[in-house]
Structure 1
Amino acid sequence: MSSMTEKEFNERGKDSSNDPMVQEQDVFVDDEEHDIRYKTLSWQFVSLLMIAEIVSNGMLSLPNAMAVVGIVPSLILTIFFGVFGLFTAKLLIDFKLNHPNVHTMGDAGDIIFGPVGREVLGLGTLIFSIFATGSELLSGQLALTELSNNGLCATFLLLIFSAVTFVISLPRTLGRLSWLGLFSALFITLCGILAMVGSRIDAVPGRIINATASASFFDAFLAITGPVFAYAGHFMFFILISEMTRPQDAMKAAWVLQVFSTIFYAVFSVVVYVYLGSTVASPSLLSLSPVWSKITFAVGLGNFLLSGALYSHVAAKLVFVRLFRSSRHLYSHTVTGWSVWTLLCFACTAAAFVLATAVPVFSDFVGIAASLFASWYTYGIAGFFWLHDAYHLGNGWEELKRRWIGTTLAILTILAGAFICVAGTYVSIKLIVEAYQSGLAGKPFAC
């Protein structure tokens, strides 16, 4: 479903004055007199922020997935979900262009499902953003622990990393973080290249490499959550596009993201698995020799920092815009505006810190959050977007019948999101139960 131009909206409004879609305006007003101007991002920098955010977590788990199911199935899944992610990104972007007032998944939920959808999808975005922040905080803690040879209590390292993350998240606009996005994307790319070099230099002798491998449903789906959620960043697309100077160029950023991440994931996972074999762990950097592990973690540290700040910034912004939409506090340097913004950034980062250090099996809870929300935001809900706009911007049911291929793909997309949601939640809950039954779950605030 292609997006409608402003002219088409205006023409449509002549005969549809009661249609609420005609009344939609861009979430941000771009006025030169405003102290704070949001619409400053180019599509190039949006693509870099997307890469910095998404590649960070996906890269670390894919070689382990390959060790469980084998090279061929893992590569097929990685490429398939890369293409699938590009398809759903197209649907999300078209929906955003058709509804410029959409700033978050909550706004989209309001259009499709009403007030209940707004609250459920909005709360889900907030929860997932905070959990994603916590995941990046743990990656940063792991890097600092590795670099310091466990020289300081892990909780203290997490606190230090969280404090710096909070400071970086404070700029009010994503444009202020764009150059950091460039360095972050470079850091994670270099980290991956160095990891491949390190795995080649210190290859595991007698390693086992399988083209395919048999596994139970539980183990197989646990492994393929790597490729499935390696592209789980679509929940941020609306927020990023809202701050673009030309939202019409958003698809260019999506192409860069999906092509780069798919190729990078495929090459990285194959090279690391081929040289480390079935012993490769998750995160994969821990399977390198001590020297190369330190080198790669040191380089990746910058990406973990920016990604955590970006997630925290997004969590704070969706609440801030909800509170002050169309208010002078959104665009002006007011005491109220800055006080609330700072408090929100602190609260989001602090919540992520508490969860990451107080929940012994936090990574599995991140899996639950990803299954419940990212499965829909990245895959399933895009089908609803297409069906909604095809029906309301076309000729209702006749439009859905006429465009039966698009309708079929949209329905399959929804079903795929539902399957990933249910299966992923089941696997994550089972992991938590097994961790406590086996005594492997740690203690809260432990060093």
Structure 2
Amino acid sequence: MALGFGSTADKPTDSDSNDAKKPDDFQDAEKQASIDAERRGSRVGGVNRRDMTSDDEASISVGKQIELEAGNAIQYRTCSWPKTAALLFSEYICLAIMSFPWSYSVLGLVPGLILTVVVAALVLYTSLTCWEFCMRHPEIRDVCDLGQMIFYNHKAAFWFTAVMFILNNTFIQGLHCLVGAKYLNTITGHSVCTVGFSAIVALISWVCSLPRTFNTLAKAATFSALFTFISVMLATIFAGIEDHPTGYPDQGEPIVLAIPAAGTGFVMGMNAFMNISYTFIGQITLPSFIAEMKEPRDFPKALWAVTIAEVFVFSLVGAIVYAYTGTQYNTAPAFGSLGNETYLKVSFSFMIPTIIFLGVLYASVSARFIFFRFFSGSKHMSSHTVVGWVSWAGILACLWFLAFIIAEVIPFFSDLLSLMSALFDSFFGFIFWGVAYFRMRQNDYGRTYFKTRGIRGWLGFLFNVWLCMVGVLFLTGGTYATVQSIIDGYKADNFGGAFSCDNNGF
């Protein structure tokens, strides 16, 4: 495939003469893309880069992937950037927004708003780092491939990332089983045992997880994000127009603080910060989304759109609901702060699509990881076979069963968000992307890049070292704070027991 740069690497080779031979599945396309990228020298830690930009290289490799899977019944490189934006909106405009009022009540309004903007900027930066790495390696299918590459291609890094990846996604599925049961208990007045409601949510979610491409799921994602936006806007409006929040006047008039209350401890403060961080941090899914884009170079358009929307929606909802419910009457999620039962049920009901869909999205990402490894190089990936569909459905069933178990064993919302943030966001939100930056700049400019690039090199190096340290803080201090909060909650009898029939509704 001649590209006009005069390099022998750009001249037709024997492998190019076989371009017209289309393999039966996406895996063969990925292997071919990997060979092409290696030959052009764009890979981290590989041969030196040539005159091409990584954008040019990725476009050629992605184009080859699309060409090679053109005759397949199931095609993966089909997502446009607006559809990818819909997936991102459904991931970020979610139920966890309703934890912001509680976080602001702990941190104070001013620090809470500042941290919201700071975390959004950090996530935007690290997401662009993730995208840049994926552009250099268009054969990446998920964050597990990426984890292996940035840690010097060690297989142990792949398996470590894979375990964290599956656990993170399954915990999120479990969170949505928990909240689904909370919703059903709230609406029906606890007409069924809570364990039964969790099982019903898991079953419905399993059925909705069956589509096999993100292109198909993007249609449901748009619907989910829209209804979530309506839900949080209604809750915000209702908080403002109702006479009093739930529980009033037991603790006096609502108190709104600009700074944290005197005596706010590390455990409470760290949990509130991690609740904010958890809502923003979603880079774990980005490599999977980029792997199914027709034009991955357009990914930043989707990323900027969702980041701007996040900052406005999260800040407004958090600040306004907190302003009307005060420090004393806040719950997580904040629907429980609404004193009017009709307002509570109406606003919470619009959250149904995201309660189902976001769990579906993470289940689909996990299922892809498992399915692609089991059926690599087989017709079951690219064709509608009985074995393929039964296996896909079976993998999803196992994932939703594990999610149901998690929902019953860890039956609390706010601390579960913090626990996931501490254990998983430490790596997938911060550490991975600092290391990815080091690897790319070292490949581009040599081992002493931070010296040879002048002030820009030093600033980039020091900033990404700090980024990794933030991840370490999450992993150590965050885990301690969350575990201590859970222990305190059990001592105060704030949680129901495991596999309990007790009503967890508002």
TM-score by length of 1: 0.92
Between the aligned partners of 2:86 and 2:491, the Cα distance in structure 1 is 42
Match of 2:257 among 176, 194, 210: 210
Structure 1: segments with no counterpart, 5+ residues: none
* TM-score, length basis structure 2: 0.82
Deviations 1:298-340 (A, max 9, x none): 1001111111111111111111112223332211112221121
State the shift of 1:370 in Å: 2.6
How many pairs were matched up? 443
Shift of the 400–237 alpha-carbon distance from structure 1 to 2, 3 Å rule, reads farther
Among 66, 80, 87, the residue aligned to 1:42:
80
Q: 1:17 to 1:305 in 2, by over 3 A?
A: closer
* 2:298 paired with 1:258: no
Instruction: Give the Cα–Cα distance (whole angstroms) in 1 for the partners of residues 391 and 46 of structure 2.
Output: 31
Distance 1:425 1:27 in 2: 43
What's 2:498 paired with? Answer: 444
> Which residue in the other structure is 1:299 paired with?
350
Structure 2 CA distance for partners of 1:35 and 1:207, relative to 1, 3 Å: same
User: How far apart, CA to CA, are the structure 2 residues paired with 1:6 and 1:433?
Assistant: 65
Q: What amino acid is aligned across from residue 209 of structure 1 in structure 2?
A: V
Moved more, 114-123 or 28-37: 28-37
- Post-superposition shift, 1:133? 0.6
Q: Does 2:208 correspond to 1:157?
A: no
2:472 aligned with 1:413: no
Is the partner of 2:381 in helix, strand or coil? helix
- Partner residue in 1 for 2:334: 284
Looking at structure 2, the residues matched to 154 and 425 of structure 1 have their Cα atoms a distance apart, in angstroms, of 28
Matched residue type, 1:373: F
Q: Write the distance in 2 (CA, Å) between the matches of 1:88 and 1:143.
A: 34
Aligned residue for 1:158, secondary structure, equals: helix
Q: Does 1:431 align with 2:480?
A: no
Percent identity, aligned pairs only, is: 25
Distance 2:459 2:170 in 1: 37
One-letter amino acid of the counterpart of residue 65, structure 1: S
Letter in 1 for 2:285: M
Distance of aligned partners of 1:28 and 1:411 in 2 relative to their CA distance in 1, 3 Å threshold: farther
What's the secondary structure of 1:331's corresponding residue? coil
Contact 2:145 2:158 in 1 (8 A): yes
- Which is richer in helix? 1
User: Could you tell me whether the CA contact under 8 Å between 2:430 and 2:470 is conserved in 1?
Assistant: yes
* Secondary structure at 1:170 match in 2: coil
Letter in 2 for 1:115: K
2:227 aligns with one of 179, 183, 187: 187
Deviations 1:157-184 (A, max 9, x none): 1111111100110111111111100110
Q: Could you say which residue in structure 1 is the equivalent of 2:206?
A: 166
Change (3 A) 1:211 1:369: closer
Other-structure match for 1:311: 362
Cα pair 1:146 1:297 within 8 Å, conserved: no
1:239-277 Cα offsets, whole Å, 9 max, x none, are 011111111111111111111111100011111111111
Indicate yes or no: 2:149 matched with 1:111.
yes
SS of residue matched to 2:350: helix
Counterparts in 2 of 1:6 and 1:404: CA distance versus 1, 3 Å? farther
Q: Where do residues 224-373 of structure 1 align in structure 2 (5 Å cutoff)?
A: 224-278=273-327, 279-288=329-338, 289-360=340-411, 364-365=415-416, 367-373=418-424
Change beyond 3 A, Cα 1:74–1:269: same
CA RMSD of the aligned region, Å? 2.6
Distance 1:110 1:14, change over 3 A: closer
Q: 1:392 to 1:358 in 2, by over 3 A?
A: same
Q: For residues 452 and 346 of structure 2, what CA distance do their matches in structure 1 show?
A: 56
Point out the structure with max Rg over C-alpha: 2
What is the Cα deviation at residue 404 of structure 1?
Answer: 2.1
Contact kept in structure 1, 2:335 and 2:348, CA below 8 Å:
yes
Query: Does 2:148 correspond to 1:98?
Result: no
Distance 2:392 2:276 in 1: 35
**Secondary structure in structure 2 of the residue aligned to 1:230:** helix
The change in CA–CA distance for 1:100 and 1:379 in structure 2 (over 3 A counts) is: same
Report the equivalent of 2:236: 196
Question: CA, structure 1 residues 439+273, in 2 after alignment: closer, same or farther (shift >3 Å)?
Answer: closer
